[in-house]
Structure 1
Amino acid sequence: MPQNAPTPPPDDAPDPKAPGRTIISVDGMGGDQGPKAVVEGMAMSADKNPDIGFILHGVRDVLQPLVARHGLSDRCDIRDTPGVVSMEDKPSQVMRHGKDTSMWSTIEAVRNGEADVAVSCGNTGALMAVSMLRLRKMEGVNRPAIACLWPSRNPGGFNLMLDVGADIRADQDDLLQYAMMGASFARNGLGLTMPRIGLLNVGTEEHKGRAELKAAHELISAAAPSGDFDFVGFVEGGDIPSDRVDVIVTDGFTGNVALKTGEGTATLIRELLREVFGHTILSRVAALLALRSLKRLQKRIDPRQVNGGVFLGLNGTVVKSHGSADATGVSAAIKLSFKLAQNGFNRKLAARVAQGMAHRQEFATNPENEETT
């Protein structure tokens, strides 16, 4: 990664922050499919919503022709940055030497108040490290979380799960914070007025699970009446895509394993269906007859449609797009970013975190709870 500082925008650079516009800061160089997929995803979002503006970070000579080709020049300010964070770069390396990179510049635009939210397809560990360094954790947050959408049987089509990989550990206080942050996300991102929160465990019985899970169960249960959410108690892995719950709370190790398992299973189903329906002439005819239904199924389990893990617990909103995202996936991440920014998500999230801290202090000072804390 070169050590040159990012080049400031020229004096005649377009101002994407026209009145009423929500500005998305986009890492143009992150991701496996390169800048072309990123800019195409931006164009797809821009076509659907005139209220989006962009600050795009990366190598200007690479990005400028793509932006012009897709008619985004009047809605996109390009920030020239010579450095690129690769998927192999260690977070510590990026924190020490990454000031010239598109990823760092993307986060810096949110920190400086130039953009409402940041989007990157790049290295997850590096993105979290840079985000924590430049945006800092919200007051009272011990461990930030990554929240992701999961296809489900609920009317909206999705459930929310956190943490899915920001930190492999989580004690009872962290899990309480995740519940509060997840409830806020569900209200502002999914439009649920009274989201149902479930705590992931090896069984639904209250006596099962590790000590921190049992303690978290009591904390979340005590916070639910005044927290504008319904705590359904412990849930199991089979409940993640169910209509029993809206938000699943767990530690980052378990959540990440579940997420990768779900993605792999969805890929396997698509491949097996392709093999089955292409096996014989009759099966090909059957595939044609069932084409519309198969397309509906494909859309429901297509990870691109729910692309975008949100970093929660920072002083700024950051959306991590999947590294292999194509234009459709990038557009989905931008759509989610826009919705959260429009709803003032981070301000409301900070209020929920403060509420969770108050519940924890009240619970800890109650003599009746001394044995369980």
Structure 2
Amino acid sequence: MLKGKRILLGVSGGIAVYKASALTSKLVQAGAEVRVIMTDSAREFVTPLTFQALSRNPVYTDTFDEKDPQNIAHIDLADWADLILIAPATANILGKMANGIADDMLSTTLLATEAPVYVAPAMNVHMYAHPAVKKNMQTLEAWGYRFIEPGDGYLACGYVGKGRLEEPETIVEVLAGEVAKDRWLTGKKVLITAGPTQEKIDPVRYFTNPSSGKMGFALATAAAHLGAEVTLIAGPVSLETPAGVNRVDVVSAEDMFREVDLRFNEHDIIIKSAAVADYRPKLTYEDKMKKQPGNYRLEMERTTDILQTIGQKKTHQFLLGFAAETVDAIEYGKKKMKKKNLDAIVVNNVKEDGAGFGHDTNTATYIDRQLQEHPLPKMPKTQLADEIFRLMKHDITGDVH
């Protein structure tokens, strides 16, 4: 799938640079034409000559070293590339990319390109978990950068955990899969709900749930990558809007129902991944309730069941629901499919390790139109989103790939 593809490999400085040399060889073997940019720090680990020998092309290290007077090197490379891969991507280069810093050959080229950029991070486990690094990755992901998650294992610093550069073979497989995508959602309109809702009690109190919206935002990103026109209706979450996605912010279950109902007829696929409140206070107060002696009883009323309402009136739409459960998840998911007239459902047990609200990973089962179960093991929610669309494609088009 990579035959003839022009790949610009950006190598930043970490011990994982030695893997980047093996990655260069694997990309060339897969038929790609590879050119390499190295940062000064990367050159402390492996010499440019290594990458020159493996790529069979000159290696770029200095913005001001213009090898061809007819071209500005970083602009020429930015325009030349079909895709750019940063591997390893250190915390430092992630910070530069997320903040528009262009102080070397690699960061300058990244600002100048319009090619898709894939990022394979590698760093110490605590660095990877640092709020600044996480924020930078969220920003880049919202801009359309695509991440190849690091693996878990023994790190060069002696720690064991997440931060090890993904294996070269896996990175090549990911890139080949991305290149092979047929953008089957081109011309389709996809509506996705994400996050929690907040049901007001008074000006300072409300009922809600711990949904982060990460799964819905990952689905919106994946749909946009597949060519869809995406509308994302989001409850109160602190996530960046994915690139190319139209975002509508709401607060309450009623707000979300109104926005979904307004747009329902014009969309081809509706994915309801939001964790919408089933109940809201029957009475709300304009002023803050004062503390009273003894207990307080609050009467609740049902909110509109968005999924069941649109399931009853759907015509041509493909309707995918989610079910977050704690017991008998599969059995409940199948009952929910039938009751709410869904075409498919994604079910998960939020008690499982690394699954459910707030996590970057999830474990789930996709149940298709024929009620067949497709277990999806624990994986990043970004990857799970790709798997869900792969299974949806089979349901919608009959294509098994």
Q: Which has the larger radius of gyration?
A: 2
More RCO (CA 8 Å, sep 6+): 1
TM range, smaller chain: 0.3 to 0.5
TM-score by length of 2: 0.32
TM-score by length of 1: 0.34
- The structure with the largest strand share of the pair is 2
- The structure with the largest helix share of the pair is 1
